[in-house]
Amino acid sequence: MKINPASVTESTHLKNRQYCQNQIRITKIFLLFTIIACAFACLEMFKVFWEQLLDHRSFAAIGQIAFFILIVLLTYGNFVYQFTRLGYFQRLLKHSSPNREDLEKIYSQDCSPLAILIPSYKEELDIVRETLLSAALQDYPNRRVVLLIDDPPEPKSYAAFESLQNMRDLPNSLQKKFNEAAYPFLQAKKEYLERKNSNKSKPQKETKLLIQLYKNAFLWFQNRMNEYNDSTIRKELPEHTRVFMRDSFFKEWCNLHLERISELEFLFTKGGADPYRIEKEFNRLASLFTVDFSTFERKKYVNLSHLPNKAMNLNSYIYLLGKRWMEKKDSRGIFLEESQNDSSFEVPRADFLITLDADSVLLPDYILKLSYVMETPGNERIAVAQTPYSSFPGTSNVLEKIAGATTDIQYQIHQGFTNFGATFWVGANAMLRYKALLDIQTFHKERGFQIHKYIQDNTVIEDTESSIDLLDVNWSLYNYPERLAYSATPPDFGSLLIQRRRWANGGLIILPKLLRHVFRWPWSFTKFIEAFFRVHYLGSIAAVNIGLVILMGSPLGEGVETYWIAISSLPYFILYGMDLVRMKYKWIDLIQIYSLNLLLIPVNLAGVFMSINQAITGKQIPFSRTPKVIGRTSMPSLYIVAEFSLLAQLLFGFITNYMYQNWIYSIYNLGNAILLGYAIFKFIGLRSCWEDILLSINRPPAKTVSHWVEQRVAIDLEGAKDLQER
């Protein structure tokens, strides 16, 4: 019996629809349960508070108020998670991906120019190569790829010099390969247009030629896919990333070509495709490998920003778009000056930009689908369209897997934000409207030069602050409800520490700007709904982590109210576990995620205190790049001490609550102590803790030798430990 593919698709869609409806019902039931449990908890806490007032125990009453505020802050996150989960499934229920015919109309009309900007600072070559490939092989005609190299242009070590030269050469080597691959398809299009203009084009013959061309394209992608089976190539690429590129990127392209071949073969039997389809297919094939690679290094020019952060790297290039420039030199160095002379060079304009982290990968139809959203009538005020990135699946590293699971959960939360109009810009892979960036442009002085700033760099979470700037000038942001982008997760706790500390830093600084936006006249109900989610996003890391530290070490609460608080948290953990299982994780991973979150408390607090320090002193926190090295990134000894101090605090909390007969809290602290001890042992390692403490005490001095390989480039002999790790 032959199965109709259309009926299979419809059946799958109906099953997905039924699943979403069931999840919406479950979430609503759990929300109601949480509200009831919280109401009983509040009632019990109020009874205790009232008794304390009647007994004239003012200090105890103040403590009860503090306890109540603490519980409210922790429960706030519970409600945000459940509401965003509800919003996520409501969006999935309404979402239907546009068909290929509508998406590919861009191949039959003028297409907005797009630039994919990839900021890179001391990245691994193999990792950047995959990012460049995923950017270049997007199903979009008018695109170019720019690698924004931010390494010091005059390196002082041989390793840094070699790495920089290899990075500069990478786009050129890819350009040669792409030009070679593009030539036969460009030639085929040229010959087709000649036949068309001379009225010699025959639909069936053109269709047959298109079939052969698509077969050639399929073979190119198949050969690239097979290269990932050779472990001697791309040695620095993690195995699960290698598998992802092979099976999820290049295989996806192969499948797309096979589907197109099948469609064209069917049309061939019917006398050939129509002229519109034929021209569209020739245009699509001609643009498949036609992409311009280039590099740019802002630090070569004295009149561009040299501030050490990703935002200013992007801002420097965005400023150059659509203008002609000439290099000029004086005693201070090389300048870029706007010029219309023939000897100047042009930076092409771009209506849309993609800012793509150097360790991220886009699926083939990422830009195709997002540009469709941006160009759809009614969406003219969308400034940022994106799909929040997911983690690369399939890693055998336990820490990377569990940290990646939290990233995958964040994808769902961000999609839920969009349902309530509370989208935040996620800078790892966002599509930006250039016109919107001009509306939030600011200027400042740096080393005596006027610098143009489009993306804010006041904090290390530059995309989050710029989200508020866009809202202030009536632009909106949008999350596309499909997983189309993936990014690397740190494989060791030292590098994860740097990443998560950066994520925790800046929210408190941005929060006043958000509140000014929310309370700016005219007020609206939708603004306050957005604020419910946005305030949590910016302030939760500070509130939750400070609250947990207080809760874990103090004998707070009296009597039965603690039971209702514990009961109110059950829906959160049950739904979180259900979501993990849906994302191909296991229920046991819920416990490991909880353990990791305990381990990250000192890290998050460090980021929060950095924000407070910046708010008080006005001194900007430098951007800390997440290391991507083969080996392990060491931890500062202060964090190791903080982890064991937190463990001691939990044990102290267990003892004091046991003495006060607060049984729930004594069990809570003991359980947390066990899980934190497990996390230290599993995710860091006792041996690694000891090694990093010794390294902090006995850090070896760098050895240098006066050797010159080119003008003004000195060489360091780096420590043996670093060489061994590499």
| Angle 306-307-308 from CA coordinates, rounded to 5° | 110
Residue 340 shares a structural domain with residue 372 = yes
Q: Which CATH number covers residue 254?
A: 3.90.550
Q: Note whether residue 639 is domain-resident.
A: yes
Q: Are residues 567 and 680 in the same domain?
A: yes
Quick one: 61 and 79 in the same domain? yes
The number of C-alpha atoms within 13 Å of 201 and in the hemisphere containing its C-beta is 25
CA distances (Å), origin 577, targets 284, 350, 405, 589, 590? 43, 43, 11, 8, 6
Q: Which residues of 705-714 are buried (b: 16+ CB within 10 A; e: fewer)?
A: eeeeeeeebb
Together in a domain, 164 and 87: no
CA trace torsion 19, 20, 25, 27 (10° rounding): 110
The tokens describing 439, both together, are 């509306």
What is the pLDDT, as a whole number, of residue 424? 96
CA distance 713 to 20: 60
Q: Identify which of 135, 115, 395, 374 has the alpha carbon closest to the alpha carbon of residue 244.
A: 395
Is the residue at 16 inside a domain? yes
Note the pLDDT tens digit of each residue in 663-707.
Answer: 888 888 999 999 999 999 999 999 999 998 988 887 655 443 333
Given the structure tokens 């290049």, which residue do they identify? 250
Question: Are 72 and 201 members of one domain?
Answer: no
Q: Could you tell me if 272 and 201 are in contact, meaning their C-beta atoms sit under 8 angstroms apart?
A: no
Domain count, the chain: 3
Neighbours of 432 (CB within 10 A): 30
Domain encompassing residue 580: 507-697
Axis crossing angle, helix 601-617 with helix 588-599, rounded to the nearest 10: 40
Shared domain for 12 and 66, answered yes or no, is yes
In a domain, 715, yes or no: no
Both 459 and 316 in one domain: the answer is yes
Answer whether 106's CB lies under 8 Å from 433's CB. Answer: no
In this prediction, residue 700 carries a pLDDT of 58
Question: Is residue 229 situated within a structural domain?
Answer: yes
Helix 637-659, helix 601-617: angle, nearest 10: 110
The reported pLDDT for the residue numbered 126 is 92
Residues 652 and 581 in one domain: yes
558 & 609 share domain: yes
Asked if residue 302 belongs to a domain, the reply is yes
**Residue where one domain finishes, among candidates 50, 74, 94:** 94
pLDDT given at position 554 = 66
Q: CA dist 523 to 468, 510, 511, 518, 532, Å? A: 16, 20, 18, 7, 14
Let me know whether 151 and 254 are in one domain: yes
Q: Are 30 and 133 within one domain?
A: no
d(CA 305, CA 317): 10
| Same domain? 222 vs 246 | yes
Reported pTM: 0.91
Helical (H) or strand (E) element with 119: strand 114-120
User: Mind listing the pLDDT tens digit for each residue in 213-222?
Assistant: 999 999 999 9
In a domain, 719, yes or no: no
Residue among 452, 431, 262, 248 nearest 355 (CA)? 431
**Mean pLDDT, the chain cut into blocks of 10 residues (726 residues total):** 38 72 97 96 90 87 86 94 98 92 93 97 93 98 97 89 95 98 97 93 95 98 94 84 95 96 95 94 97 96 94 96 92 89 86 96 97 96 97 95 97 97 93 98 94 92 93 97 95 93 92 95 92 96 90 60 84 97 96 97 95 88 70 87 94 86 85 96 93 80 39 36 36
396 domain residue, yes or no: no
Give the domain-ending residue among 64, 94, 124.
94
Q: Identify whether 297 is part of a domain.
A: yes
Q: Which of 81, 23, 75 shows the shortest CA–CA distance to 409?
A: 81
pLDDT number for residue 657: 81
